[in-house]
Structure 1
Amino acid sequence: MKTETGTRLLAVDNLRVLLTALVVAHHVAVTYGNIPLWYYTEPAADPSGTALDILVVFDQAFFMGFFFLVSGFFTPGSHDRKGGRAFVRDRLVRLGVPLLVFLLLLRPLLTIGEHGMPFWKWYIVSWDPGPMWFVEVLIVFALLYAWWRRAGGQRAGAERGGAPSLKGVVLFTLGLAAATLLWRIPVPQGTYVPVLGLPTPYFLPQYAAMFAAGVVAFRRGWFEALPGRAGRAGFVVAGVATVVLLPPAPRPWPASGACGSSPCPRRSAPCSAARWSSAGPAVPGCRRPTWPPGTPPWPAASPDGGHRGDGGSARRPRSSRIWPAPPAGAAAPGGRPPGPSCPIPRPRRPAPVL
């Protein structure tokens, strides 16, 4: 099938449309699934939440990497046309200005609510690029590419060479897997980088490798030279890998009703009672960590028995994540809730945004 018309690759356009739709579906799934890492969450009360969790785990494994692949593909041509200085200036304006607008103006609007501290203080401690983290990382990659070009790492002009070999694809895959494995020793799954706001820093080797692969693909004409059978074969391999690797994959968020490490104890009454009991865990496996000093007091109770970061407001703005209500008679020292044993966003800062 012909994938090119003039100088425009229709296959890349199709990929961008597909990825954009997948991003929308991904965040809808986060909203209504059991992984509360979004501005507003409303977990499903039926098994559909588990299906949405599976979608999130599945597409998180690759879809942002593909965005960086596409970004890397368009980077060399832009640098060639504009030159180094103009390229950097263009990237800082086109990417940096939206990032600053979100950080300085839109972010505070999304986090309006009662946070147990003056708004000016909340404005500072809640600093987080939110969904603009992709733009933040892309600026860094673009600047590194410009520096590499200035250092003589690559000259302008095409270096056509045909499609990558099967051996090259296999070696790239194995190398990326090894790099990711080593990277996740100091940066395990679930790590969150505050201020920078990176929700998935444990995927950085993939993001960097895919961006670099996009740069090389542009220079060597890989996308134009790939035959249709390569796409079909890749689709089959990806499907088989998903079937084999997805079931044993670690859950980013324990199943509904799980005790022990469950981050959402309101879904498990016994575990919730054990967590909130000042006498310590009453259920095996239930832990009762503590919030760090300076954590704001409990938000006001909502009519449904939960606790909301908006002080019980019915508007449910950005800070309206529901925290579990303590069982009757279970008081936390100093009026502050005991902390969860996994990363429920604390009221001190916004939730990590996938």
Structure 2
Amino acid sequence: MNSLFVSLQSKFSKTFILIVCFHVFFWVSYFFFPLLQFWGMEEYHFPIKKLLLDIVFKLIVIYSVFLIGLPYIFRHKLYKKKWLYLLGIAILIFSAYLNCLFIDSFFTCNTCFNMFCITRRGVETFYLIVFFTLFFLFERFTAQEKEIEAAKTAQYQSELKSLKAQIHPHFIFNTLNAIYSHAIVENLDSKFSNLIFQFSDILKYVVYEGQVKEVALSRELEIIESYITLQSFRHEEHVIVQYTSEITNNRLYIAPLLLITFIENAFKHTGNLTGEQHPITIEIREHSNVLHFYCKNPYASKNDDILSSIRETESSENGIGLENTKKRLDILYPEKHHLHITKEASFFSVRLQIHLL
């Protein structure tokens, strides 16, 4: 019951209620303003029913644009297309024509369905669309500002947490390099020495390069390959990794430590399974500056609530989990990415597409 109350409270926030009140006030004013102009004129009978029908029609047109058309246009960046404006003019004229036809079907009169009516309805609808478009842009700008501010706060807190966890990183790197050098001098297993080097490289990447805005995609893939090698060595009795990568443009950049979150989650849940030879499939491909990432892993049947539980999982040393990764994608690649997480039979899969340019 408490969770339901919290859900309703978050859905009907103060901002949401204010927006709804604004819309209601606007349309009530739009209805009563013409009435006030002719208030007290007994010889004039204002056509209230005609006005109500006109408002009903405008509500359908305006909110089709406001709730469906504008979000679709900005999501796919169609506002850059010239044909969209020609289509908008055609739809505006057609809607004005339908408006007059709609009213004329209820009221048989000479002034309802003519060129003057179509022009007047078209101009009224045009100004309403412009007004609600500006309102939509204001809402969008305000929401983006809040997201950016929240991202800055989250990044600040993450950096503080990371700084607290970084106890003399130079000492750690120097120690690992010393162990690596010792392994080479003593002719120890080359696989062991390479694992030390890869671990040192990952640690350095997380502490230093992971703090910048973007890194070369090729560098990100190097770290992912090193991470897969380390995890494969750790779970070599339980896991078989099928990893493929295909990058055609080596000049692309990407935000660091985005993809590794999903890979870490795959190893975590697969490594907890009993038995041997559990497959993990990881595919990273780039085509026409679009990065395609796919990761599939098995999971235990007892984890039926995996979709909700993994959101709270801390996926790396710097505390970036799946939920934070989703937020980073929304902020860093707004309307330029598509993330699809599914649970099918006994497998868990992640598909991610990012437009890097």
Fold agreement, TM-score > 0.5: no
**TM-score (normalised: structure 2):** 0.23
**TM-score (normalised: structure 1):** 0.23
Indicate the structure (1 or 2) with the bigger Cα radius of gyration. Answer: 2
- Higher relative CO (Cα under 8 Å, sequence separation at least 6) belongs to 1
- Comparing both structures, which one devotes a greater share of its residues to helix? 2
- Comparing both structures, which one devotes a greater share of its residues to strand? 2
